[in-house]
Structure formats: structure tokens, C-alpha cells
Amino acid sequence: MTGLSGRVLPVHPQPKDDEIFSSWLCRIAQANGLKLHTLEVQVWGRKKQIWTRDIDRSIDDATLARVAELSGTPLDRARETCLQSLEGKLFERLVVKSNSDWVLPSGVYHRKRRRHAMQFCPLCLAQDASPYYRRSWRLALSTFCTVHDIMLHECCPSCEEPVAFHRQELGDRWTSRIIW
């Protein structure tokens, strides 16, 4: 049993263009005044721990359908946030438990990301009204921001840790404090 009584959350942000699933989930939690872990427990209970693996690579249909329902988002639109939606376009089949061509590996080990899998443009994040991470930034062939024509970053400029949504708040905008 979960802690949510309704079928739709009070605030339900829709996915932005090219937004990756983990970023969208963070924005849903933030919009509802919840920490990401609190939302996870309220939606799935304590038995399902989605951050113990690369959720953007391994999201299952039931989990995706539940988030789509809670956010009032059509399932087809929710699927566009997943790396699996690139199957047949960028790669034949997304490999979940191993490396996949063109998808940067996150190296998850006990919820900790050991690899720099989520790249980002600090200027995009600083200028977004509601910051979000793009699905295309997760791809190995993306190295430059197509909007700002700068190289994508892959870690915190201070501590050099990889981006880990479940360990930081998406709205903190630490990346916007970089001096250019």
C-alpha cells in the first residue's frame, strides 16, 4: 500500500522536450514539495528501490505507467523520456544490464553513480525556468550544447562527482554558479 490516496498528484508537471525520465521524476517530486525518496516511498512503498540501478536505462512498463498516471501524462508521452524510446533509431536494442552503444554508462554500485553518465549544459540549466536534464545529454555522441555551442559538462565543477538526482536537489542549480 502506498501513501498516495488519489490517482493524480496535486501538481503534475509534464515532461519537457527531450527530458530524461529521472529528471522528470525529480521535477514531479519537487513540484509536490517532496524529497525524491519520499515520493518513491509514497508511490511504490519501501520494497521497490528505483535508484539501486540506472533508472533511465532500466525503467519497466509498470513503473513508467504509474508515474504517467500520477502526473496525468499520456503513456506514449511518458515513454519519450526513456532511453528505450531510441530503440530502432540510435541502436537496435537497449541493453539494460550491460553497456549499450551510444549510451553513457552510470556505473551504479549501491545507489552511488561511479561514472559520469549524465552530461549537462550549465547555461541551459541556468536559463531553464524549471531546470531539467535532456535525454540527449545521456548519449555518448552528444558533446556540445546545440543551443549555447559550448562543451557539455559531466560532473560538479567543485567536487567532480557525477550527477546523481537522488543525492541532490534538482532545483539547487549548482551548475548555474559556474563563472564563464
Estimate the share of the chain in helix, then strand, then coil, as percent rounded to the nearest 5: 35, 10, 55
Residues 111-126 pLDDT 10s: 555 667 889 999 999 9
Residue with C-alpha cell 539501486? 52
Q: How confident is the model at residue 177 (pLDDT cuts 50, 70, 90)?
A: very low
Nearest to 169 by CA among 36, 12, 18, 9: 36
Residue 76 or residue 44, greater confidence:
76
Residues 15-47 pLDDT 10s: 999 999 999 999 999 999 998 888 888 888 887
- pTM for this structure? 0.85
- Three-class SS of residue 16? coil
- Say which amino acid occupies 175: T
Whether 175 has a pLDDT exceeding 50, the answer reads no
Residues 92-101 pLDDT 10s: 888 776 677 7
Residues 132-168 pLDDT 10s: 999 999 999 999 999 999 999 988 888 787 877 666 6
The DSSP line for 99-161 is: -BTTB----EETTEE-S----B-HHHHHH-SS---BGGGGBTT--B-TTT--BPB-S-TTT-P
**How is the chain split into domains, by residue range?**
21-172
Residue with C-alpha cell 493524480? 8
Secondary element (H or E) of residue 62: helix 61-71
Residue 25 or residue 103, greater confidence:
25
